[in-house]
Amino acid sequence: MPAVTLSEVARAAGVSPATASRVLNGSSRTPGPDIAERVRAAATSLGYIPNAQAQALARSSSGLLGLIVHDIADPYFSSIARGVQSAARELNKILLLTSTDGTPAEERLAVEAFTSRRADAIVLAGSRSSRSEDEPANSALLRDANRYLANGGRLVLVGHDLVDPTHRGVSGHGVSGRGVSDHAGGAHPAGGSSPVLVEIPNESLAYDLARDLAGQGHSRFVIVAGPEGLITSDLRVGGFQRGLAEQGLPQAEVLRAAFNRDGGFGAGLDLEETVRLAASAGNPCCIFAVNDRMAMGVVAALRHRGLRAPADYAVAGFDDINTLEDFIPGLTTVRLPLEDIGRSAAEAALTGADPTPAFGDVVLRESTARTA
C-alpha cells in the first residue's frame, strides 16, 4: 500500500501543500489555529506519516545526536554511551550510535553520515592516532569535521583533539577548550564554531598511579601498552614513566600489543619468564597495563601458566570499567567517571554549555598488595 502523501493531506484539508507542510513539519511560519487543526485532522484520518528530513529542514533541527565510539562492546565506551544516552533522552533528542574500530578513516565516514542526516550535534569519543600512516585520514577527518561545524553543527571531542598533520601532532590541550579548528592553518571554514574538547587527564593520572605503586613498595615495573602512536596509550606510558623517575626508580620496560583484552593476553604470555624470574629473586614484577581490558588479559594469560596475582606478581590497569566488579583479584586501577563524562559531553553538544572537567583517582586493590 503506497504511503499517504503531503499533497493528499493538503487536498483533504482544503489547503495548499505549502501550508500543510508548514503545519506538519514544524515551521515557524504557521497558519491560523483553525487551519492548522484542519490539517492535523486530515493527516490523522488519512494515516499520514511525517517526513523526518522535511521536518529537520523546516525547523533547522533534526533532533538527532550522533555518537562515535571505537567499540561499543568495550565497557569503557558503553559506559560513556550510557551517559550520552541519558542526557539525550532528558533533552528530547534521539541518539544515533556508530562504532568505528578507532581508525580516523572510519571516524570520517561516521562524521560524514551524521552530517548528511543533519545531526544537531556529534560526540566523538576515543583516542586519536599520531601515526604517519594515518596522516591522510586525519586530514580528511579534520576537513569533514570543519565542514560540519561551518554548517552550524556542534562537535564535542572526548579524550583528545583532532590531529592536524600540518602541525605534527594534536592541537588544543585545555579541558573545555577550543579545538584544533582554531588554529588549523586556515583549514577551518569561516562562519562555523570550533569543537569543544573534554580532555581526560591520562598523563597526570598515570603519574599518580606510579607514585602510589612505588609507595606500596614496588620497584620493578613493566608497562603493557597499546601500539606506538595511539595517543591515549602514549600519554599513560609517559605519565607512568615520569612518576617512576620522580620516585627515583628505573624506567619500566614497555611491551606493546593490541589495545584490548587479546593484546593483554598475548603480552601476558610473553611476560611469563620475566614474572617467574622476578618472583624467584624475591622482587615480584609490577605490571601496568594501560587499560583494564589489557590488564584482564594479562591476568588470564599468567593464570593459564600457573602464576597468580598478587602472590607471584602485581598488576594494575586504568579506567575502572564496570566489569571489574566481578574480577578476581580486585584490580588496582585509575577510576574515571565514564558515565558522567558522557553525560557532560552530550549536554555540551546539545546545549552549548561548558562541559564539566574530567577527573579521576587511583584505586588500590588486591592485585598490587605486597604479600611479603
What one-character-per-residue DSSP string does 73-84 give? TSHHHHHHHHHH
pTM of the model: 0.81
Would the pLDDT of 211 be above 80?
yes
- Please indicate, yes or no, whether residues 72 and 190 belong to a single structural domain of this protein: yes
CB-based contact 349:155 (threshold 8 Å): yes
- Please indicate, yes or no, whether residues 282 and 300 belong to a single structural domain of this protein: yes
CA-nearest of 267, 210, 287 to 243 is 210
Please count the residues of the chain. Answer: 372
- Please indicate, yes or no, whether residues 39 and 108 belong to a single structural domain of this protein: no
- Please indicate, yes or no, whether residues 188 and 75 belong to a single structural domain of this protein: yes
Q: Report the CATH number at residue 150.
A: 3.40.50.2300
Phi, psi of 44 (to 5 degrees): -65, -45
* 346 located within any domain: no
Written as nine digits, the cell of 132 is: 604517519
Question: For residue 358, what is the DSSP state?
Answer: P
**From the CA atom positions of the chain, what is the Rg in Å?**
26
**Mean pLDDT of all residues in 273-298:** 96
Provide the CB-side half-sphere exposure for 247 (13 A, CA).
Answer: 25
* 348 located within any domain: no
* pLDDT-derived band at 194, boundaries 50, 70, 90: confident
Written as nine digits, the cell of 200 is: 581526560
* 119 located within any domain: yes
* 254 located within any domain: yes
Written as nine digits, the cell of 218 is: 614496588
Per-residue pLDDT tens over the stretch 69-85: 999 999 999 999 999 99
Would the pLDDT of 167 be above 80?
no
Per-residue pLDDT tens over the stretch 5-14: 777 777 877 8
Written as nine digits, the cell of 256 is: 606493546
Look at residue 50 in the predicted model and tell me its pLDDT: 65
Task: Give a three-class secondary structure readout of 316-369.
Answer: ECCECCHHHHHCCCCCEEEECCHHHHHHHHHHHHHHCCCCCCCCCEEECCHHHC
- Please indicate, yes or no, whether residues 138 and 261 belong to a single structural domain of this protein: no
Written as nine digits, the cell of 10 is: 493538503
- Please indicate, yes or no, whether residues 171 and 229 belong to a single structural domain of this protein: no
Residue the block writes with cell 603493557: 224
- Please indicate, yes or no, whether residues 90 and 195 belong to a single structural domain of this protein: yes
Look at residue 52 in the predicted model and tell me its pLDDT: 56
* 248 located within any domain: yes
- Structural domain for 233, as ranges: 202-335
Look at residue 178 in the predicted model and tell me its pLDDT: 46
Question: For residue 180, what is the DSSP state?
Answer: G
**Mean pLDDT of all residues in 78-94:** 94
Would the pLDDT of 290 be above 70?
yes
Q: Report the CATH number at residue 25.
A: 1.10.260.40
Written as nine digits, the cell of 290 is: 594501560
Structurally, the chain folds into a number of domains equal to 3
- Please indicate, yes or no, whether residues 36 and 70 belong to a single structural domain of this protein: no
